[in-house]
Amino acid sequence: MNGVDFSFADQHLCALASGALWWPDLKLLCVSDLHLGKSERMARRGAPALPPYDNHDTLNRLAVDLERTKAEMVVCLGDSFDDLDASITLESCEKMQISSLQAGRRWIWIEGNHDPGPIELGGTHLSEWTCGPLVFRHIAQAGGQSEVSGHYHPKASVRIKGRSITRPAFLLDCNRLILPAYGTYTGGLRSSDPALSNLMETGAMAILTGSQPQIIPMPRRV
C-alpha cells in the first residue's frame, strides 16, 4: 500500500497517498470533507459555473481507493456534501455511483457543519462514532482523546533548497489525528495557522500526501 504506516491509540493505521486513512485490522477506509456538489452549489448562488466534474472526480478517486484496499467499512468524516441541498440535487448517475460504492460495505456518514442533517442516500448517519479505541467526528473537540477528525483541510509546507513544497497533509499528535480534505474542489489551511498550531500538541507530525507520502515534524510558525 502506498502510504505511511503509523501507530495511533495503539492501533496500526496507514495514511494513504490519496489523503484517505486506512485501518487494516478493521478493513476500514476513512475519508473526510468530500464536499460533493460544490460546483453546483456555487452556480446556484450566482457564482460563475465551475467545471462540473468535481463529483465525478472525487467519487472516481474514492472508487480506486476502495478497489485497492478492498475495504469492508467506509467512514465519511463530515462535510461529505457541500450543503444539504447538494445531497438532493446530485445527478442520478452520481447517486448510482455512490450506491455501487456502498454495495457490500458498511457505510457511515458523519455529520459536518456543511451537512448537519440526515441525507437521502443509503448508509448510517451519525453525529459521531466510536469504534474500538477511536472516536470519529467532524471537528476536533477540546480535550479530545484518540480522536479522528477532519474539517480544517490541513496542508503543510516545507522549504527545501529554495523551493517551497506544499501538500494536503494528515496532522498527528498523541491525542488526535486530523485528515486532509479528500474532495476535488477543496483548498487547505496551513499547519502553521494558529487554528491548527494551537490545537496540535508539541511533537505533532505531518504526513504530506502526494505520489510518495512523507512524514515530517509538523511545520509551525517560528
Partner 1 sequence: MTQIPTRIAAWFAAKGWSIHPHQQEMFDRAQDPASLLIAPTGGGKTMAGFLPSLVELADGGHKGLHTIYVSPLKALAADIKRNLRTPVDEIGLPIRIEDRTGDTSATQKKRQRADPPHILLTTPESLALLTSYEDAPRMFDGVQRVVVDEIHALAESKRGDQLMLALARLQHLCPDMRRVGLSATVEDPAAIARFLARHPDPCRIIQADPGPDPDISMLETQEMPPWSGGGAAYAIPAVLDQIRQHKTTLIFHNTRAQAEIFFHNIWLANDEGLPIGIHHGSLDRQQRERVEAAMVRGDLRAIVCTGSLDLGIDWGDVDLVIQIGAPKNVKRLVQRIGRANHRYNAPSKALLVPANRFEVVECVAALEAAKAHELDGESRGSGPRDVLCQHILIAAAAGPFNANTLFTEMTSAGPYAQLTRTEFDACLEFCATGGYALRAYDRWQRLQQRPDGLWQLRDPRAAQRIRMNLGTIQDTDTLKVRLKRNRGGKPLGEVEETFAASLTPGDTFLIGGQIVRYEGLREMVVEVSRRADKKPKIATFSGTKFATSTQLSERILHMFAQPDWPQLPSHTAEWLALQRDMSHLPQRDRLLIESFPNDGRENLCVYGFAGRNAQQTLGLLLTKRMEETGLAPLGFVATDYATLIWGLDEVTDPRPLFQLGALRDGLDKWLAGNAVMKRTFRASATIAGLIERNIGGQRKNGRQATFSSDILYDTLLKYDPNHLLMQITREEAMRGLVDFGRIEAMVARIGDRIDLLRLDRVSPLAAPLFLEVGKVPVKGAAEERLLAEESARLLQVAGLQPM
**Residue 104 binds to partner 1 (criterion: CB under 8 A):** no
Position 9 contacts partner 1 (CB under 8 A):
no
> Under 8 Å CB-to-CB from 213, ≥6 apart: which residues?
2, 3, 4, 15, 16, 17, 207
Report how far residue 20's alpha carbon sits from residue 3's, in angstroms, rounded to the nearest whole number.
9
The answer to whether 1 contacts partner 1 (rule: CB under 8 A) is no
Q: Give the number of other Cβ atoms within 10 Å of residue 1's Cβ.
A: 11
Q: Is residue 132 a contact partner of residue 28, using CB atoms and an 8 Å limit?
A: no
Which span sits near partner 1 by CB under 8 A: 1-9, 26-34, 123-131, 142-150?
1-9
Q: Is 95 in the site for partner 1 (CB under 8 A)?
A: no
Instruction: Assess 56 for contact with partner 1 (CB under 8 A).
Output: yes
Residue with cell 465551475: 50
Three-class DSSP category at 23: strand
* Residue with Cβ nearer partner 1 (35 or 107): 35
Candidates 26, 84, 139, 215; binder of partner 1 (CB under 8 A) is 215
Among residues 180, 160, 183, 158, the alpha carbon closest in space to that of 170 is found at 180
Smallest gap from residue 10 Cβ to partner 1 (A): 15
Strand partners, 148: 136, 177
Q: From the CB of 141, what's the least distance to partner 1, in Å?
A: 22
Among 53, 96, 127, 141, binds partner 1 (CB under 8 A): 53
Binding site for partner 1 (CB under 8 A): 4-6, 39-40, 43-44, 46-54, 56-57, 158, 160-165, 184-190, 193, 208, 210-212, 214-217, 221-222
